[in-house]
Amino acid sequence: MSDDIDIHGGGAVAVDTATLRHAADGFASLAGELTEIADVVRAAGSDLSTTSPAVAELSYAVETARFAFEAAIDKANALTGALRAAAAVYDVVEARAERAAAEAAGDFERVELIDARLAALRLANPDAEGQATLGEFGHWLTWPGSLATQAPGALWWLMPGFHSLAFPIAWGLQRVVGSVGAGTVPASSRLAGRASGVVVAPIAARQPATAPTSLASIAGRIPGGGEARIRVERYTMGDGSRQFAVYIAGMQTMAPQTREPFDMASNVELYTGERSASYDATLAALGQAGAEPGDVVHAIGHSQGAMIAAHVALEGGFDTRTLVSFGSPVEADVGSGTLSVNIGHTDDPVTALAGGGHAQAVGAAGSFVAERASDPLPGPQDLRMPIHGIDAYTETARLVDASGDARVGAMRQLFDELGAAASVGVTEYSATRIPVAPVPMPQPRPGPEPSVSPSASGGG
């Protein structure tokens, strides 16, 4: 098991422009302060050199210090320029993504505005566009690498002799997913189809009604394995307002035609943009828990549950301020009002269905992606896919908690906010499909008995 975890802002060029520009301003300010100090040292050295030969050695030491200050100033200025250039590269990537979305939506007026912005960016930062293109190409080329490099070892246990084909096949299949954009859910996406018949029922909660204190404790609250499928926590804040946290299970069975809403059929429906019974069960559970349109919701899900949580954020009608995804096969562009935390394993075939995610970072400021190879050594254990299980993702969440990375700060603020609630209530819900009664085939209506003529009855 690998403990090497990569925490970044997401997208092809994984940077946070606000943080970069803040750091650049800090280095620029430092360079200014060092320049003032260097000027003082330079003046002192000049004064010492004109006094007497007895202080010549001290004058030399002062000059050495001045050179050190000037070298530090050069480094601070170089860092300032590099940070601002990186921010400009991200601006280009983001503008390109916005342009593609506007063009797909037929909003050509917005396309013209974005083109003007891109032109201004090119003028102010001539190298940014080329670096953005290289960054996007590098992301396109390398994101399938971790899973593809393990494919030969995994295939060896199934088809010895054919394992040499595993890398190009695995890489190519992932590139196909990425090219068609199946795993990237735009902000405008809405599930198609009618609502399913489902019944949700409250059951005893497994864990007490307390606020979470870490990402690992969030992962540990996701239902599954028992009767519960959805957990809803209700927070009454000190000012009387309320917030809700919903935890959504992943797929529970691959069996066809069951009464389990969290099945493979729901997986396929959600991934292809269709409304699923598990999505409807989640909305029903939130409604039973008292959540109303416009209420603040924090949505957390694993695998299929992460797809559901993404659509709760995009179209559920709530003020979804947080989306936390574990092992999600999609990445949703939830917009600047939702903090997006995406925890994935680079060797998890399910997360590979996200196609590398969006070219630009998604979510509010402070959003991040955390990735690692959960089980870098291939073997027969891969057939059971333990790397996709919630236990493996809970361990990754612990590593993120322990990282001390500043980008986890927004989640820590959420834990503090929920921890200050005046009261907390929790309900877990089971979910069951309502069988659809088969439509009876229309039967032909009986007609009148046919009359029989004497000639038709024989004789004669």
Q: What is the pLDDT of residue 38?
A: 72
What average pLDDT does this structure show over 190-218?
Answer: 93
Q: What is the pLDDT of residue 455?
A: 40
Q: What is the pLDDT of residue 451?
A: 46
- Measured in degrees and rounded to the nearest 5, phi and psi for residue 250 equal -90, -170
Q: What is the pLDDT of residue 124?
A: 73
Tell me how far apart the alpha carbons of residues 270 and 189 are, in angstroms, rounded to a whole number. Answer: 11
- CB 269, CB 276: distance < 8 Å: yes
Q: What is the pLDDT of residue 329?
A: 92
Query: Is residue 4 classed exposed, middle or buried when 0-12, 13-18 and 19+ CB atoms within 10 A define those classes?
Result: exposed
Per-residue pLDDT tens over the stretch 54-80 = 555 666 676 677 777 778 888 878 877
Is 243 strand, coil or helix? strand
Helices (H), 373-424: 390-403, 409-419
Edge to edge, the sheet with strand 339-345 lists: 6-8, 368-372, 339-345, 319-326, 296-302, 242-248, 230-236, 423-433, 198-203
Residue 152 has pLDDT above 90, yes or no: no
Q: Which two tokens stand for residue 25?
A: 């301003």
Q: What is the pLDDT of residue 16?
A: 56
To the nearest 10 degrees (0 to 180), the angle between helices 264-271 and 304-315 is 40
Residue 296 has pLDDT above 70, yes or no: yes
Higher pLDDT, 373 or 457: 373
Residue 401 has pLDDT above 60, yes or no: yes
Tell me which of 23-32, 117-126, 163-172, 440-449 is least confident: 163-172
- CB 223, CB 230: distance < 8 Å: yes
Highest mean pLDDT among 65-74, 157-166, 298-307, 348-357: 298-307
The residue among 318, 358, 357, 309 whose CA lies nearest residue 337 is: 318
The residue among 216, 207, 214, 208 whose CA lies nearest residue 414 is: 214
Q: What is the pLDDT of residue 452?
A: 46
Q: Which amino acid is at 274?
A: E
Q: What is the pLDDT of residue 58?
A: 63
Tell me which of 172-181, 238-247, 362-371, 384-393 is least confident: 172-181
- Measured in degrees and rounded to the nearest 5, phi and psi for residue 164 equal -65, -20
Distance of CA 437 to the CA centre of its chain: 39
Higher pLDDT, 99 or 41: 99
For the chain, the structural domain boundaries read: 15-128, 181-433
Q: Which amino acid is at 169?
A: I
What average pLDDT does this structure show over 197-215?
Answer: 93
Per-residue pLDDT tens over the stretch 408-454 = 999 999 999 999 999 999 999 999 999 766 556 666 666 555 444 44
- CB 334, CB 340: distance < 8 Å: yes
Query: Is residue 110 classed exposed, middle or buried when 0-12, 13-18 and 19+ CB atoms within 10 A define those classes?
Result: middle
